[in-house]
Amino acid sequence: MTLPQKRILLALALCLSAGLTVAATIEGRVVGVSDGDTVTVLDAAKVQYKVRLTGIDAPEKAQPFGQRSKRNLSSWVFGKQVQIETNKSDLYGRTLGKVVVNGIDANLEQVKAGFAWHYKKYAGEQPAADREAYSRAEAFACTQRIGLWHDAAPMPPWDWRSCRRHKPGTEGMDCGVTRR
């Protein structure tokens, strides 16, 4: 191993030991859309990645607007070549990332179309420019009553999931399962 290679290896080891993550880009074709915030990408080596879109949380499939959210995301990405900007995975083994198709942030487009919330619980993990853009897009969709914001009081998916698990404190919640 040459000295420059050793230095690169040492720098990488130091980053990893310090708990830092290394950003990566996955390129491939979207071969599946599970719901409004999860896709399956197949790369050139035929490796499949289950990708959870970061910065957003879309209605669950059985939740109001869940099917429309899935269709909207499909119209943006299904069958298309995409780049996934990622630096981590979740507890379920999914790659977490921003899906970019033809230079456009599909995650942000879901929020703009009113088919996803800006997931503020994890907003601190987003670059500041993304955090601001997603927040503005959600506020605009809400004030214009676009997509799920057409409902008077749309239930965020994190509340819906909690309600469906019958956690204490959610007994009085309406977990509605209307499909739209």
Summarize pLDDT for 130-151 with one digit per residue, the tens. Answer: 999 999 999 999 999 999 999 9
User: 62, 178 in Cβ contact below 8 A?
Assistant: no
For residue 63, give every residue at least 6 positions away whose Cβ sits within 8 Å of its Cβ, in sequence order, or none: 155, 157, 160, 176, 177
Any catalytic annotation for residue 27? no
Q: Evaluate if residue 9 carries a pLDDT over 80.
A: no
Any catalytic annotation for residue 52? yes
Q: Select which of 7, 27, 29, 60 is catalytic.
A: 60
For residue 94, give every residue at least 6 positions away whose Cβ sits within 8 Å of its Cβ, in sequence order, or none: 38, 50, 51, 52
For residue 12, give every residue at least 6 positions away whose Cβ sits within 8 Å of its Cβ, in sequence order, or none: 22
* pTM, 2 dp: 0.80
Q: Select which of 85, 94, 109, 138 is catalytic.
A: 94
Any catalytic annotation for residue 94? yes
